[in-house]
Amino acid sequence: MAARKKKAAADAAPATKAKRQSAPNEVLVKLRAQSAVELNDELLKLRKEQFALRLQRATGQAVKPDQFGKVRKNIARLKTIAREAQLAAAAGVKK
């Protein structure tokens, strides 16, 4: 009985993992398609969200602790994509 449950759990795990990996890739594709102005607007939105989370924590309101890391990583992703676009534009000008 226990072996059957482990096998069922093992079979379900790769499908769940595949779904998780495809979602961030779609987000990255959408972000890479945006212009520099849109990326800056998105960055501003994320910074405001980060500030709101810090404010909620400081005032003692209920806040989900995992949100801090998620927002911080999204900011890093966005800044990386913006830098990639900047380097690609500079490489295009040099040629």
Question: pLDDT tens string for the chain (95 positions)?
Answer: 566 655 555 555 555 555 555 566 888 888 888 888 999 999 999 999 999 999 999 999 988 999 999 999 999 999 999 999 999 989 887 65
The reply to whether the predicted model has a pTM over 0.75 is: no
Within a domain: 2: no
Cα 12 to Cα 33: distance, rounded to the nearest angstrom: 33
Q: Domain range spanning residue 69?
A: 36-95
> Shortest CA distance to 89 belongs to which of 13, 11, 45, 36?
36
CATH code of the domain covering residue 91: 1.10.287
Within a domain: 23: no
Within a domain: 89: yes
Within a domain: 66: yes
Within a domain: 3: no
